[in-house]
Structure 1
Amino acid sequence: MNVRQIFGSLACGAVLLTGVAACSDKSPEKAETSKSGTSDKANGGTDTAAAPADLLKLGVEQGQAGNFDEAKATFDKVVAAESNNKFAWFNLGFIAQSRNQADEAISNYDKALAADATYKPALYNKAIVLESKEPTTSMDIYRKVVSIDNKSSTAYLRLGLLLSQSGDDAAARDAFKAAIRLDKKLTSSVPAKYRAVPAASSSARTGR
């Protein structure tokens, strides 16, 4: 399934989902619109008798088309029918997060996590919301993310940045090392003092 990414940079998991976990290390700086979101349903019409799976798909189409109000209404219908639908709660959290409604976003992510405590997209996005207000909790969540998926390079990167801010340079260095090992393109996002010195340069200095 092709799911467009419509949240901020390095937001792994921050996409509208229809029913599969998604996680990407790359994300554009601003929203993209869906090329296929031109149907009557995608532009606001809903089928109140539709199955939750169909409503999820419709809500994603609406969100990709930039119709977040309609998408929210559609996802609300999903959770009214299935109170433990983690995908709908995640999408509601995503919409709130994209609108800078932090408390609502966290509440919705928590409901997704109540249905599946290891649901990585909700964990990751919740950690992002908490970075500035509760950095210690955010770090704990990033640690949980990488324990679930040890290839989550951007979780390691964001964990490293928080560890650096807390003054734990040794742990930050380890986190950055893991991020770069998994994705060398993240090197430029790592503070310069944590980047490894190239072996050639080190040998040259030793030779002198």
Structure 2
Amino acid sequence: MSMRQILGSLACGAVLLTGAAACSEEPAEKPQTSKSGNSDKADSGTTAGPAPADLLKLGVEQGQAGNFDAAKATFEKVLAADANNKFAWFNLGFIAQSRNQADEAISNYDKALAADASYRPALYNKAIALESTEPKMSIDIYRKVVSIDNKSSTAYLRLGMLLSQSGEAAAARDAFKAAVRLDKRLASSVPAKYRAVPAASSSARAGR
């Protein structure tokens, strides 16, 4: 699997390292220049280091080029200037998750969420990281994601999978219906027993 495929498969509306397709059809949220990146020294004409927004952009470019070591160092520089920068914490979590370092990823996502409890990309990726070890917690997080954005088709799909595995068939069916309603391309990913039977097929069977 290529690095770009990994980026796309993990992130949901990722602000820095990928687009928004995993979470909704809306364009990816872009990092905004923060006042916290403009120091008094910079205002007074004293030479200062790159602003956090510029470092974030550099980190994105490094990450998208597959140079995760350099990207990690860049995002750490962002945090040295702005310890609560949710974008930097998210991307450090993203890098750790892409390296199968689940505990580190979750810790970084939690720090992003401490800065913004409704930050969808961190919620979504944390839910993915918890699917195999803490499925109930993952379910709760996916439910929070879709409560924040009810167009999160992939979140509905993954929620349906976990609900099905936990024996909540009715809730799983509802989640799958929502996923397919939002993105018909997901229909092939829905387990066969939850797929809607085409009306024509149903009528044909009824007439036999």
Instruction: Work out whether the TM-score is over 0.5.
Output: yes
Deviation track 1:45-94 (CA, whole Å, cap 9, x = no partner) reads xxx81111100001111111111111100100101110110000000000
Higher helix fraction: Structure 1 or Structure 2? 2
Paired position in structure 2 for 1:94: 94
- Select between 144-153 and 198-207 the one with higher mean Cα deviation: 198-207
Letter in 2 for 1:190: V
- Contact persistence 1:6–1:14 (CA under 8 A): no
Q: Percent identical across equivalent pairs?
A: 77
Structure-2 separation of matches of 1:5 and 1:148? 27
- Contact persistence 1:163–1:171 (CA under 8 A): yes
Deviation track 1:124-168 (CA, whole Å, cap 9, x = no partner) reads 000000000000000000000000000000000000000111111
Paired position in structure 2 for 1:7: 6
CA shift for structure 1 position 195: 0.1
Matches within 5 A, 1:103-118: 103-118=103-118
CA shift for structure 1 position 6: 4.8
Deviation track 1:2-45 (CA, whole Å, cap 9, x = no partner) reads xx955266434274617xx952139xxxxxxxxxxxxxxxxxxx
Distance 1:72 1:131, change over 3 A: same
Structure-2 separation of matches of 1:201 and 1:151? 29
Residues 1:119 and 2:116 are matched in the alignment: no
Residues 1:175 and 2:172 are matched in the alignment: no
Paired position in structure 1 for 2:41: none
Structure-1 separation of matches of 2:105 and 2:201? 47
Residues 1:52 and 2:52 are matched in the alignment: yes
Structure-1 separation of matches of 2:5 and 2:91? 12
CA shift for structure 1 position 207: 2.4
Distance 1:63 1:10, change over 3 A: closer
Distance 1:145 1:5, change over 3 A: farther
- Contact persistence 2:109–2:126 (CA under 8 A): yes
Structure-1 separation of matches of 2:140 and 2:105? 18
Structure 1 unmatched ranges of 5 or more: 27-47
Paired position in structure 2 for 1:142: 142
TM score, norm. by length of structure 2: 0.82
Structure-2 separation of matches of 1:143 and 1:131? 13
Structure-2 separation of matches of 1:6 and 1:82? 30
Structure-1 separation of matches of 2:65 and 2:19? 19
Distance 1:78 1:94, change over 3 A: same
Residues 1:72 and 2:69 are matched in the alignment: no
- Contact persistence 2:13–2:120 (CA under 8 A): no
**Which 4+ residue blocks in structure 1 deviate beyond 6 angstroms?**
none
Structure-2 separation of matches of 1:107 and 1:126? 9
TM score, norm. by length of structure 1: 0.82
Structure-2 separation of matches of 1:7 and 1:168? 30
